[in-house]
Amino acid sequence: MSSWNPWHGCRRISAGCANCYVYGRDGKYGKDSSQVVKNADFDLPLKLKKDKTYKLTTEEGIVYTCLTSDFFIEEADEWREECWQMIKRRFDLHFFIITKRIHRFSECIPQDWGEGYLNVTICCTVENEEAARFRLPIYKAANIKQKIIVCEPLLGKIDLSPYLDNTISQVTVGGESGPQARICDYSWVLDIRRQCTDACVPFHFHQTGARLKKDGKIYIIPRKYQHSQAEKAGIDIKNTKKAE
Ligand code: SF4
């Protein structure tokens, strides 16, 4: 998996941030995650190797962008335009941006954004009903070529149905990881899957999280099995025409 983190650090903004992995990891080294700082690899997409080819390449073409912050955080306003220019120049790559700050989208896009850059997917995270009701109307109205709704960490039942149509490429669902992980109820996962089925939207169960509740019983799932257990559930919907 290829990633590009132009800056590091973030501020908690909603319930999904309570056990933020950036804070968790930095905390181990006594680092203050609330300070947003530009990284040395800020211009990674344009960096060249000795043979003059790009350093940043990826077999699948996808670059996960700004995983140790939020791309739309206020502190990065001065730096973002340069990032858009780099993204535009690297049209051979596809940039995935996952955000909890979609409300800042319209003030953060470049002048030539138009209907959206073809090589950018913006994923909107909604962890509970409150976040969905605030963020998804904004997300739905935004000019973005590729949209993915990310319900991770899933903290409760969510009604996504008003926002699901063929403008959404996928809904991804997952539980929370880490020692403080909150419970993810499998019935919430299945409920979102049903909504996706009804709306013919692809669905992906990304990971179980560390504490999965199923049929009233709580399962503690070690980190190394959280992805494979979700895959084992076999509930992904790829071909929406054949969804059941
Ligand atoms: S928005 Fe993301 S990176 Fe920022 S505090 Fe919340 S979970 Fe962490």
pLDDT digits (tens, 9 = 90+) for 148-188: 999 999 999 999 999 999 999 999 999 999 999 999 999 99
Is the CB of residue 100 below 6 angstroms from any atom belonging to ligand 1? yes
At 244 the pLDDT is 45
The residue nearest atom 8 of ligand 1, judged by CA position, is: 20
pLDDT, tens digit (0-9, with 9 covering 90-100), for 70-84: 999 999 999 999 999
Q: What is the mean pLDDT of residues 71-99?
A: 98
CA distance 154 to 156: 6
Q: In residues, how long is the chain? A: 244
Q: Is the pTM of this model over 0.85?
A: yes
The pLDDT-based confidence of 242 (bands split at 50, 70, 90) is: very low
From the alpha carbon of 68, which atom of ligand 1 is closest? 3
Range of the domain at 140: 2-242
Burial class (CB in 10 A: 0-12, 13-18, 19+), 2: middle
- The neighbouring-strand residues paired with 99 are 124
Q: 57: phi > 0 → left, psi -120 to 50 → alpha, else beta; which? A: beta
Ligand 1 centroid distance, CA of 239 (Å): 31
Rg (C-alpha) for the chain, rounded Å, is 18
Q: What is the mean pLDDT of residues 51-77?
A: 96
- Whether 5 shows a pLDDT value over 50: the answer reads yes
Amino acid at 146: Q
Is the CB of residue 73 below 6 angstroms from any atom belonging to ligand 1? no
Is the CB of residue 12 below 6 angstroms from any atom belonging to ligand 1? yes
Total structural domains within the chain? 1
Is the CB of residue 124 below 6 angstroms from any atom belonging to ligand 1? no
The residue nearest atom 4 of ligand 1, judged by CA position, is: 10
- Given ligand 1 and candidates 10, 98, 103, which is best to mutate, with the most ligand atoms within 8 Å of its CB? 10
Q: What is the mean pLDDT of residues 126-144?
A: 98
Whether residue 88 contacts residue 117, with contact meaning beta carbons closer than 8 Å, is answered with yes
Work out the mean pLDDT of the chain and round it to a whole number. 96
Q: 197, 173, 175: which is closest to 185 by C-alpha?
A: 175
Ligand 1 centroid distance, CA of 93 (Å): 24
The pLDDT-based confidence of 241 (bands split at 50, 70, 90) is: low
At 1 the pLDDT is 85
Question: Residues with Cβ < 8 Å from 126, sequence gap 6 or more?
Answer: 132, 135, 136, 149, 150, 151, 158, 160
CA distance 221 to 233: 14
Scan for tokens 């992906």, then name that residue.
204
The pLDDT-based confidence of 197 (bands split at 50, 70, 90) is: very high
CA distance 112 to 118: 12
At 29 the pLDDT is 95
- Whether 243 shows a pLDDT value over 90: the answer reads no
